[in-house]
Each structure stands twice: as C-alpha cells, then as structure tokens.
Structure 1
Amino acid sequence: MLEQRIQQQFFECADLQVQAADALARPLTDAVHAVLGCITAGGKLMVCGSGAATADAQHLAAQFVGRFERERPGLAALALGADGVLASALARERGADVLAKQVLALGAPGDVLVVLAPVGPDDSIVAAVQAAHGKDMTVIAFTGRAAPGLSAELTETDVHLAVPHDRAARIREVHVLALHCLCDAVDVQLMGEQEPTS
C-alpha cells in the first residue's frame, strides 16, 4: 500500500511535467529572452519567493552568480530577503515591506524581477511586483494554476509561467525544472551548445 502511494507520487509528477512542457514552453522562451535582454544590457536579476519557494529563489540567484552546469563568468543576480540582518532591520520599521523596499533601493529600469509563488502570492510578493513596475522592470512570475492576486498585477510585458496544478508540492517540482530550463537556455544563448561539465 505504501509503495503504491509512493509510486503514485512519481506518476503524478511525471504526468504534470508532460502537461507543463506544453503549457510552459512558450512563456519559458519569453522568460529567457527577458533575462538575456536584461543581462546583456548590464542589468541584474532580482529573485524572491513566498514561503518554501524562498529557498528556490536563493538557489536560482546562486546559479546565475556562480554557475549552472558549466563554467562561465558570473551573471548579476541577487535573492531578495536572503540577508537575515537586513530583513530583520527592515521588518522592524513600521509598515515596511522587505521585498518591495529592496526592489526600490536596488532595482533599476531594465532589471528583471523573478517571483516564485507556487501557492499564490502573499502581500510581500505583490508589493515587490508593484515596486518593480514602478522602477520600469520586467516581472517573470512562476505560479500555480490559481494566482488571482498576482495575475491582476502583471502587465503585457511581463511573463507568467502558471503550472497547471493546484498542489504546492507538484507545482514546486515543476518550478525547479523550469528554473533549470531557464538557466540552461541562458547559458546556451550566451556560450553556445556544449555538454555540461557536471
């Protein structure tokens, strides 16, 4: 019984990844173009996530600054809210929103804000998106099927990658794959086809 339940998790994940391949291929291509336009113009990627997706945001920023699967010069990226001391100091300010304040202080026109909200955005994610638009930044939003609070904030120049599912675990699994696709595609566009070194 337990083995069957475990197998079912794998099957459900695999089925969703096949569905998501169709649903996300075009928006992922648009996201790659947005990131490349930003990076090649000297801009930076700012990444944030809600809840457990905060770790995925930090991981994405690390893959841009460091490397994905092969060596290359670092690309400008930072994970918002990752600095615990800064976040604590900002949170102590009355009514302060940590993510939006960081976008306003560090963002510039032409930068890209990537938001990861697998179970829908919290108020801080929505405020960060609004701040990014105020700075003339493009937003790339990774969500699940239902993201009403965030969908209403996105503009036609933004990119929305909505995984066709409602369960947070499945959505995050697809988000991680999509983020890896983004990293791979950016590397291929910047450095050409080559086998990864690890």
Structure 2
Amino acid sequence: MDMTSRMTAHFNDSAAVLQESGRALAEPLAQGVELLFTTLANNGKILACGNGGSAADAQHFVAELVGRFERERLPLPGIALNTDTSILTAVGNDYGYEHVFERQVLALGQPGDVLVAISTSGNSANVALSIEAAHERDMRVIALSGKGGGAFNDLLGPDDIHLCVPHDRTMRIQEVHILLLHALCDGIDALLLGDTA
C-alpha cells in the first residue's frame, strides 16, 4: 500500500467507526445530555478524568464548559481532575497512582454531581476507582470507553450512562470520544439556550 492509500484508509476507517457509533450511541448520548443539563440546572458540577489522550479529552471537555462551546453563555462548573500536578504527585507518591482521581472525587464530589470517566479500554485502575468513589458520593457517572468496555461494565450502575465505542483500535476510539464530548457540549447549550428544534 502506498502512503496516500494508507492515509485515505484512515479517513475511511474513521468515517465507518463514526457511523457505527452514531447508530449505537445516539440514545445513551441524548440521555447523557439530559443528565448533565439537569445536574447543572440543580447547581451540581461535573468532574472529569482520564489518562494520556483521555486526560486531554477531559481537559478539553471542561474547557468547553467553563469557557464556552460555540455560543455565548454563562460559565458552567467543571473540574478536570488530571490537571493539578501537586495533587497528582502528592497522592501518587503517598497512596499510589491508582488513587489520584479517587481522592479528588471523595474531596470534591457531592451528591448530585456527575463524573465523566474516560478510558479507551475501560480498564484504567485510577479511573475505575474514581467511579467507585463517585458512587460513594451519590454521584452518577457518564463513562466513555471502547474495546467492549472492560472493567467499566462491572462498575457502572443502572443509573449511569456508558458510551462504549464499538471498536478495538485506540485512535479510532479517541476520535469518537472527542465527538461524543462535543455532542454533549452542544446538547447542553441547546437546552440552556432553548434551542431544541
């Protein structure tokens, strides 16, 4: 395969995964929008976490909430739990890296808040523990995963929302994750601004 064909194949594969994900995830995604809107309307906040590319996605999502997405509106309360290097290194050093998000959820999470937990495999130990901590705090969870969902399948409860991308390749899963997060932002804005047509 020449390089141009290889690059074209990426676009074709990505488009196919996006289409399949749209068919599989549109309904739970709409439920996620409703959950986040209700949380924000009731003075709750959104916590988000992930590792590596998923950490970048968590930060990106929170930036869209606190700043703005596409239209002017009031800032919305969101915290990316993977941004404070002092907390991450202190907790990682004193308790172990698997506890870096769990401790923050226990410190900052309140009943009625939502955790957005991101892991392409669904098996990240520190993200898994954050889900358990969210449940301890009577928080609901929106989990973004792929590869069949991994450990998330056993951790999530009936009131949580699982957006599991139907694919096994990490980069394709990440491409869908950013679309899912943008769609959540768009849905929140539509409800906040009364644009649900």
Supply the AA of the counterpart residue of 2:188: V
Contact 2:115–2:141 (CA under 8 A) maintained in structure 1: yes
Aligned to 1:16: 17
Aligned to 1:101: 103
Q: Return the offset for 1:84.
A: 0.7
CA shift digits 1:110-154 (9 cap, x unpaired): 000001111233110110000000000000000003222111000
CA RMSD in angstroms, aligned pairs only: 1.3
TM-score when normalising by structure 1: 0.95
Q: Return the offset for 1:62.
A: 0.7
SS at structure 1 position matched to 2:47: strand
TM-score when normalising by structure 2: 0.95
Gaps of 5+ in 1: none
Contact 2:147–2:168 (CA under 8 A) maintained in structure 1: yes
Matched, 1:52 2:53: yes
SS at structure 1 position matched to 2:117: strand
SS at structure 2 position matched to 1:42: coil
Q: Return the offset for 1:60.
A: 0.3
- Name the count of aligned residue pairs: 194
Given candidates 154, 159, 162, the residue that maps to 1:160 is 162
1:131 & 1:86 partners in 2: Cα distance? 17
1:120 & 1:50 partners in 2: Cα distance? 11
Gaps of 5+ in 2: none
1:168 & 1:29 partners in 2: Cα distance? 24
- Segments of 4+ in structure 1 off by > 4 A? none
Alignment of 1:109-148 (within 5 A): 109-148=111-150
Q: Return the offset for 1:30.
A: 0.8
Contact 2:33–2:188 (CA under 8 A) maintained in structure 1: yes
Contact 2:122–2:152 (CA under 8 A) maintained in structure 1: yes
1:127 & 1:51 partners in 2: Cα distance? 17
Contact 1:117–1:143 (CA under 8 A) maintained in structure 2: yes
Q: Return the offset for 1:95.
A: 4.2
Contact 1:50–1:121 (CA under 8 A) maintained in structure 2: no
